[in-house]
């Protein structure tokens, strides 16, 4: 017997009613797998909700009164970060930013302070800054191999940034504004503890959460610990390689 060709075989009922399967048989398997995963997830969710709503077994201790439970300490607070949203392709293999961000988005957080500004332009946006701030009046950041200069301001004297941190900070906490010959390229917030505020972790997280919403194409934001200080650095992504010199201290 000579087998009939695939084109001569009769179509199934599904193929007759679903044009997508007739036009592209290759998508049938992923579609079935996706529907199967959806059904399994729905069953797991239903099981979880059933167990959550089930009454406590006999003899079990009653739940504690939430009003009588102690409030969580600041150090145990769970913080949720909201990074910039992404758009993924249909295979979830490639992503791109779904928001078109620019320096304007950074200016909305920074009070019109953006990368590339000259020292006097930045100083004009900060209250109570002394007049005459310029490249020639700045201190040299000697930890960098290139010519980097800066000025610093106590965070308690920066109401815009201080308002981003409802939690306490030490009185010696400050922000450093670093400049190269191309202008402002980094803002480094140094949060230091003291007797009145022994932990500045929550404040650092609060500040970091404001900048992480800005995509890396506009600002690179990192948070880390340096000795006792909690540090949040916001850097111009076009600044290039700025390599600090590692000093080695030795006793005399």
Average pLDDT value for the chain: 74
Share of the chain above pLDDT 90, in %: 40
How much is the average pLDDT of 41-52?
A: 54
Lowest-pLDDT choice from 39-43, 91-95, 130-134, 161-165: 39-43
Give the DSSP H or E segment for 244: none
Comparison of pLDDT for 10 and 109, the residue scoring more: 109
- pLDDT at res. 60: 44
Token couple for 93: 């293999």
Helix and strand element counts for the chain (H, E): 7, 8
- pLDDT at res. 88: 62
Query: Which of the 8 DSSP states describes residue 72?
Result: P
* Range 19-28, long-range pairs (CB < 8 A, 24+ positions): none
CA end-to-end span of the chain: 99
User: Please, is 186 exposed, middle or buried when counting C-beta atoms within 10 Å of its C-beta (0-12, 13-18, 19+)?
Assistant: buried
How much is the average pLDDT of 33-42?
A: 59
Task: Report the greatest alpha carbon distance in the chain.
Answer: 99
- pLDDT at res. 96: 57
pLDDT over 50 at 127, yes or no = yes
Across the chain, the runs of DSSP E, i.e. the strands, are 86-88, 95-97, 139-140, 149-154, 174-180, 183-191, 220-226, 229-235
pLDDT over 60 at 133, yes or no = yes
pLDDT over 50 at 149, yes or no = yes
Rank 5-19, 187-201, 227-241 by mean pLDDT and report only the highest. Answer: 187-201
Spatial distance between the Cα atoms of 113 and 68, rounded to a whole number of angstroms: 46
Share of the chain above pLDDT 70, in %: 55
pLDDT over 50 at 236, yes or no = yes
Domain residue limits, the chain: 102-235
- C-alpha distances (whole Å) from 49 to each of 39, 42, 57, 62, 172 are 15, 11, 17, 20, 50
How much is the average pLDDT of 11-34?
A: 49
Lowest-pLDDT choice from 11-15, 141-145, 214-218: 11-15
């Amino acid at each position: 017997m000579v087998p009939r060709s695939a084109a001569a075989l009769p179509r199934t009922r599904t193929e007759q009613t679903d044009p997508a399967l007739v036009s592209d048989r290759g998508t049938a398997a992923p579609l079935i797998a996706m529907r199967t995963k959806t059904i399994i997830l729905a069953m797991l969710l239903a099981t979880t909700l059933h167990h959550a709503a089930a009454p406590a077994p006999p003899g079990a201790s009653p739940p504690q009164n939430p009003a009588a439970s102690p409030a969580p300490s600041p150090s145990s607070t769970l913080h949720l970060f909201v990074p910039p949203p992404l758009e993924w392709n249909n295979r979830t293999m490639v992503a791109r930013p779904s928001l078109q961000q620019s320096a304007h988005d950074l200016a909305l957080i920074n009070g019109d302070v953006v990368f590339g500004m000259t020292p006097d332009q930045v100083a004009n946006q900060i209250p109570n800054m002394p007049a005459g701030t310029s490249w020639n009046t700045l201190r040299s950041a000697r930890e960098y191999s290139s010519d980097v200069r800066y000025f610093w301001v106590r965070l308690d004297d920066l109401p815009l940034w201080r308002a981003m941190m409802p939690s306490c900070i030490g009185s010696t906490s400050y922000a450093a504004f670093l400049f190269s010959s191309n202008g402002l390229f980094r803002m480094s917030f140094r949060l230091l503890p003291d007797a009145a505020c022994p932990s500045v972790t929550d404040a650092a997280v609060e500040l970091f959460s404001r900048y992480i919403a800005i995509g890396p194409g506009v600002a690179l934001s990192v948070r880390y610990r340096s000795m006792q200080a909690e540090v949040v650095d916001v850097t111009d992504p076009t600044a290039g390689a700025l390599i600090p010199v590692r000093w080695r201290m030795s006793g005399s």
